[in-house]
Amino acid sequence: MMRTAVSHTRLYSYLVTRHTGRAVRTNIEEQLAVFEETVLAVLDLEHVELIDFSCADEVVAKLVTMPGVISGRRFFLFRGIADRHSEPIESALSRQGLAAAGETIDGDPFVMGDIEPEFERAWRALWRVGRAAPTGLAEQLSLTIEVTTELLTGLDSRGLVIRDGDDYVSFGRALADAPASMDGAPVDPATR
Amino acid sequence: MSRVIEVPATLDEAAFEELVTAVSTVGGENSRLLLDARQVSWVSPYGLIGLLAIGQAARQQTGLAPLIEPPDDPDVRSYIDRMHFWAAAADVFEVDARHPRRHGEVDTLLEITAIRSHEDVHRVVEGVRDRAQRILLNQLHYTRPSVIHFSVMLSEVCQNILEHADSIGWVCAQRYHWKRRLGRDVVVLAVMDVGVGFQGSLGAEHARRYGERWSSAAALEAAFLNGESRFRDPGRGQGLQAIRRQIIKWDGAVRIRSGDAMIARVPEWDDTPQLQSGLTRFPGAQVMIVLPERVTGEGEQG
């Protein structure tokens, strides 16, 4: 069973201007560069006062399209998402047909951006069970194995779930199973 | 040799157009512009930073710092002092050192601030929060999330200067009663630069596709309506569209003038044409956003 490394980063303050967004993204990319294996990066926006459209593009949309390395992929979970963050992030993702995994301040998981309802339903079902093969999840979703496989493969290719052999793993489970997490330095644009 | 141009008594967006036309005839070296504002009796935020834009354009055109004669009206003088006009004017005009004076002002949302870098945008956005809350929430009856949306809009519109103008720009915002057109209080946000403008900024990426139809009006439509940008990056160009969407939710107005054209989102209470071309050509981009007071019975504003 594959163990996914986890990196935690807290973001602070006012995420405004593309310049700031680029600096924050570069900082996160540098933090992730130390991982040779697959890594789930948890970015906490709870203390972000506001994020504008330019920063949402740089910090969210560009990160979720970040290429992995030969030995591992990069996945992202955006935590602490409040109403004040939603519109710029949704807009930045949807504009490019992207989606990203999020958690509200209360810890409720959801998908942001451009995602079709059947994919979101499969994503939520996997989040509930944590880890499943298509055969196991198909019954819960009342779908055929072929359709369930297609949905999970699609979610994996969009960086919303982690494939581990025949199984698919939710970010929630990956966090619980992580061998150790690395806390990255807090990223505050005010100290950039 | 100086060329004296009288500033209209009511210094608003219409007066700005008059000044642009008048100044367009000033040209060549050794032709210094003198803006005579002595008769000015009322000033809007757009008109006020319009003076800076006109002065800067004249300076770029003639190579000479223009002169400005301040208004005689003590109330107008006091207002433009409070808006920090003279601090910004010192970088544009040859001004009298006695002018710069600063006071607090309850209805000022944002004093004139020069935008030269992303740090300036941060300063504007972070500094405006408390006043935006007081004015939008308490006086214009907007919702609490609207204060955040206003700050995001402010950030995007200021970044337009950095991303597209390659030039200095200015921003200011003020609450006042718009009796003549609306009979309500409004917040007016004005942002201007005298840089390359939309036609120049988007030209390298889009002009070939438009061929002979490429113009200031076409560039404004491409950016404002279609979210096109000078960059190939698909993440670019969403700022103006987001502003437009937000203004529609608030039943506000936005107009962007650039080159010889102007595009607008026009609410029912306004009669500005949605697209004008053939205006007197002026460098850069000039943006005016009007947010009307919310009254009981109006829908959710987002």
- The number of distinct structural domains making up chain B is 2
Full domain range(s) for residue B227: 107-302
Query: Which residues lie below 8 Å from residue A26, measured CB to CB, with a gap of 6+?
Result: none
B122 Cα to chain A: minimum distance (Å): 7
- Residue B112 sits in the same domain as residue B188: yes
pLDDT digits (tens, 9 = 90+) for A134-167: 999 999 999 999 999 999 999 999 999 999 999 9
Query: Does residue B103 surpass a pLDDT of 60?
Result: no
- Residue B57 sits in the same domain as residue B145: no
Whether residue A50 and residue B163 make contact (CB cut-off 8 A), yes or no, is no
pLDDT of B26: 59
A108 Cα to chain B: minimum distance (Å): 21
Distance CA B217, CA B11 (A): 25
Q: Best interface-test mutation with A: which of B115, B119, B122, B146 has the largest number of A CBs within 10 A?
A: B122
Whether residue A50 and residue B156 make contact (CB cut-off 8 A), yes or no, is no
Name the residue facing B148 among A50, A54, A57 (closest C-beta): A50
Which of B72, B103, B134 lies at the terminal end of a domain, its last residue? Answer: B103
Distance CA A78, CA A96 (A): 18
Length of chain A: 192
Here the tokens at position A190 are 């005010």
- Residue B116 sits in the same domain as residue B226: yes
Please report, rounded to a whole number, the percentage of residues in chain B having pLDDT higher than 90. Answer: 69
Comparing CA positions, the residue from B241, B249, B44, B245 lying closest to residue B142 is B249
- Residue B85 sits in the same domain as residue B192: no
Here the tokens at position B106 are 């309850």
- Residue B192 sits in the same domain as residue B128: yes
Look up the pTM and report it.
0.90
- Residue B137 sits in the same domain as residue B55: no
Which of B103, B120, B155 lies at the terminal end of a domain, its last residue? Answer: B103
pLDDT digits (tens, 9 = 90+) for B253-295: 999 999 999 999 999 999 899 999 999 999 999 999 999 999 8
Specify whether the CB–CB gap between B53 and B170 falls below 8 A: yes
Which CATH number fits the domain that encloses residue B11? Answer: 3.30.750.24
Strand partners, B184: B178
Q: Best interface-test mutation with B: which of A15, A52, A55 has the largest number of B CBs within 10 A?
A: A52
User: Which range has the worst mean pLDDT, A15-24, A40-49, A65-74, A120-129?
Assistant: A65-74
Comparing CA positions, the residue from B269, B126, B178, B255 lying closest to residue A52 is B126
- Residue B88 sits in the same domain as residue B24: yes
Distance CA A190, CA A150 (A): 44
pLDDT digits (tens, 9 = 90+) for B79-101: 999 999 999 999 999 987 666 55
- Whole-number mean pLDDT of chain A? 91
- Residue B143 sits in the same domain as residue B254: yes
- Residue B167 sits in the same domain as residue B271: yes
Mean pLDDT of B111-118: 94
E strands, chain B, are 2-6, 10-11, 32-36, 42-43, 67-69, 108-115, 169-178, 184-193, 253-265, 275-292
Instruction: For residue A131, give the 3-state DSSP assignment.
Output: strand
Query: pLDDT band at residue A192, thresholds of 50, 70 and 90?
Result: very low
Domain at A4-183, CATH from 2.60.120.40, 1.10.10.10, 3.20.20.70, 1.10.20.60 = 1.10.10.10
- Residue B159 sits in the same domain as residue B231: yes
- Residue B63 sits in the same domain as residue B179: no
E strands, chain A, are 5-15, 39-51, 74-81, 99-104, 109-113, 131-132, 162-164, 167-169, 181-183
Count of A–B CB contacts within 8 Å? Answer: 68
Query: Does residue B135 surpass a pLDDT of 70?
Result: yes
Which of B85, B103, B121 lies at the terminal end of a domain, its last residue? Answer: B103
Query: Does residue A64 surpass a pLDDT of 80?
Result: yes
pLDDT of A174: 93
User: Which range has the worst mean pLDDT, A122-136, B8-22, B169-183, B266-280?
Assistant: B169-183
Comparing CA positions, the residue from A110, A128, A129 lying closest to residue A120 is A110
Distance CA A12, CA A94 (A): 24
- Residue B147 sits in the same domain as residue B36: no
